[in-house]
Structure 1
Amino acid sequence: MKINFKETLLKDLKKYKDGIFAKHHAKYFQTHKGGYGEGDSFWGLKIPQQRITARKYWKDINLKDVEKLLQHKVHEVRLTALMILIEKYKKADDDAKSVIVKIYLKNSECINNWDLVDLSAPYIPGHYWHNNSLKDFWKYAESGNLWKERIAMVSTV
């Protein structure tokens, strides 16, 4: 029987849902109309819960499913997907790193809050750009998009 790691991971994350924290996170990340996190939704997960889940699945989940998680409407699911991408990137050969960076950049519109950027930018595009071409770095740095510019800036850390 084939295991659907994406669905199993989502089920594991849902176990940690907390309505009180979800409301707090929504306020903190300014999800209200006109806020920098407008439209984002939260389950109220805590970072340690997400790290435990990411560690549990990072080896077995495929990149296609991680990309789907990165596109999820729930903020903490995207954060967990980034944790998984970081682990996969750290262990990847050069070809796989290139694929992971392409997934990251292709989905950068989903990396749309400071915690998502700050967690991932130094370890994925930052590492890659430092060791390869800076062409995409400059596109991001000069994009006029808050989160893409932050990705470029934080990638230099």
Structure 2
Amino acid sequence: MSTFNKIVESLALYADTKKDKKSLEKFFQVYSGGYGEGDKFIGVSVPNQRKISNQFFKETSPDDIQNLLNSEFHEHRLTSLLILVKQYQKSKKFEEREKIALLYLNNIDRVNGWDLVDSSAQHIVGPYVMETAKFDILDELAESNHLWKQRVSIIATFYLIRQGHYIHTLRISEKLVNHKHDLIHKAVGWMLREVGNRSLKDELPFLNKYAQTMPRTMLRYAIEKFEPELRDKYLTMGQRK
């Protein structure tokens, strides 16, 4: 039996096709007009997907990953990404890490959910662009006019933030500051907040420039951890539209 089939069968053992499936479909907006329209779930919790990814990551081949990414089921794709993250983190050779990163980037259309992005971009794309200095990858994704690629572009910078590099988050945030989608508002606001948690002097100039025009949700996320007086200042600025 192929590893792909082993993973699919293992996921099926944890599937709850009644309760979890319905709640997941509602949560991820798979209904008509929702951002997850058309996605399908079998009802497997993330902890159980992590358990399976830890069990099989050593034997999972690129072909197995490709087959999982091509699946119509959300949990198959997420498990494949959790495996890729594990493989990337455990790899000691740059050539192996690059193959994983390129497999990810070449299949980024299948990283088509905010949880898929958030579970993988900061652990694969972030360290890859840092190691190779190919930061233009982030710009290309941000400028793609593709929701999930754009979310990858900003969430990937979380790794860079943790390394003390904030300039890339601020640059990508500037490209996305007028985005129309709530999922980008939340992602950009979140990353700006992470910058501010470490260096207010880097976050505040961005807010001084854009607080009056940036989406309200983005602003609220960005200032969530501020002291009340400073938070109120920027909320007031955000009302002057």
TM-score band, normalised by the shorter chain?
over 0.9
Q: Deviations over 1:2-42 (max 9, x none)?
A: x4111011101001111211011001100011100000000
Q: Report the AA paired with residue 136 of structure 1.
A: I
Q: What SS is found at the alignment partner of 2:123?
A: coil
Task: State the match for 1:33 in structure 2.
Answer: 32
Task: State the match for 1:5 in structure 2.
Answer: 3
Q: Deviations over 1:28-78 (max 9, x none)?
A: 100011100000000111011101110110001112211211221100111
User: Who wins on radius of gyration, i.e. which is larger?
Assistant: 2
Task: State the match for 2:104 in structure 1.
Answer: 104
Q: Report the AA paired with residue 104 of structure 1.
A: Y
Q: TM-score, normalised by structure 2?
A: 0.63
Structure 1 portions without partners, runs of 5+: none
Q: Deviations over 1:74-107 (max 9, x none)?
A: 0011110001000111122100111111110111
Superposition RMSD in Å: 0.9
* Counterpart check, 1:18 vs 2:19: no
Divergent runs of 4+, >2 A: none
Q: Following the alignment from structure 1 to structure 2, what is the Cα–Cα distance between the partners of residues 86 and 70? A: 14
Q: Following the alignment from structure 1 to structure 2, what is the Cα–Cα distance between the partners of residues 97 and 131? A: 10
Q: By percentage of residues, which structure has more helix?
A: 2
Task: State the match for 1:73 in structure 2.
Answer: 72
Task: State the match for 2:124 in structure 1.
Answer: 124
Give the superposition deviation at 1:135: 2.5
Structure 2 portions without partners, runs of 5+: 159-241
Task: State the match for 2:136 in structure 1.
Answer: 135
Q: What SS is found at the alignment partner of 1:35?
A: coil
Task: State the match for 1:95 in structure 2.
Answer: 95
Identity of aligned residues (%): 36
Q: TM-score, normalised by structure 1?
A: 0.96
Task: State the match for 1:42 in structure 2.
Answer: 41
Q: Deviations over 1:98-135 (max 9, x none)?
A: 11111101111110111000000000011101221123
